[in-house]
Amino acid sequence: MEKELCIGFYKTPPLWLKEQFGIVQFQFPTIDFSNFISETIPEQLRLGHKMEHVFEQLLSYSKDWKVLAKNLLIDKGKIRIGELDFLMNHRASGENYHIELAYKFYIINPKITEPIHRLMGPNKRDMFYTKLDKLKEKQFPLLYSEEISKKLQDLRVNPIEVKQQACFKTQLFTPYGSETISIRPLNKNCINGSWIGFDDFNTSEFKKLEYYIPFKQEWVLSPSANRTFATHYETLLDINLRMLKENSPMLWMKRPNGDLEKLFVVWW
């Protein structure tokens, strides 16, 4: 599973290209997986922390980068005010980088006019624009805080010379059956499936199809037929329990011709 997770992460496109919103997108190096052997990732970690392990493995494997520090904690007295995800050194140029990592699943709500406000987590608790504000207003300024200066000195890193970027990989989901939605200036290659409300899912169109409910870490992967798929009725029973907990599951949906798609069923 670890290698699948690494490949899935690598193949996930960045949410924007080059520079948008005043933030430069990290350009991931080319990875040849033919000889890649993944390291064990602790099973108990949340998906976001697993992605940090994946990011570090891939960057180290590429030989282009050296990890100077990761999850660099910043305390003010007894209060933790934040952390830096990664401090990296680009071997060829010798330049140092501060990289903030994000791996997100967002549905697109076309009822909202502003593109960056359209993106939200399937449970409506994770908004792209709030993450963007956090990066700009909190995460990146931490590099220049007095509280981290001693740690940077120990690493022989001058914060003034550090380049700050985001590695912001995302899977986007459009309303089921919708026409093409413009998401400029975001990367349309991030669109990876669709979403639907529970009542709409419980209709005749979906009853002839089969479904697999992936575990959270499998969300990163491309859908695979080598899973045990269930009927619509069996899947509906499981989804109904999740709806009561205000939890929106991802499904791998298999059509009669064998085609596979990702579909979120949202509780709201």
Question: What digits encode the pLDDT tens for the residues 44-93?
Answer: 899 999 999 999 999 999 889 999 999 999 988 888 889 999 999 999 99
- Rounded CA separation 85/220 (Å): 20
The fraction of the chain above a pLDDT of 70, given in percent, is 100
**200-229 burial, b for 16+ CB within 10 Å, e for fewer?**
ebeeeebeebbbbbbeebbbbbebeeeeeb
pLDDT at 114 over 90: no
Q: What is the pLDDT of residues 171-217, one digit of tens each?
A: 999 999 987 787 888 999 999 999 999 999 999 999 999 999 999 99
For residue 39, what are its two tokens? 């390291």
pLDDT of residue 113: 84
> Are 131 and 104 contacting, i.e. CB atoms less than 8 angstroms apart?
yes
| pTM of the entire predicted model | 0.94
The two beta strands, 119-120 and 191-197, are unpaired
Average pLDDT, whole number, for the chain? 94
The DSSP H or E segment spanning 237 is: helix 232-244
pLDDT at 136 over 90: yes
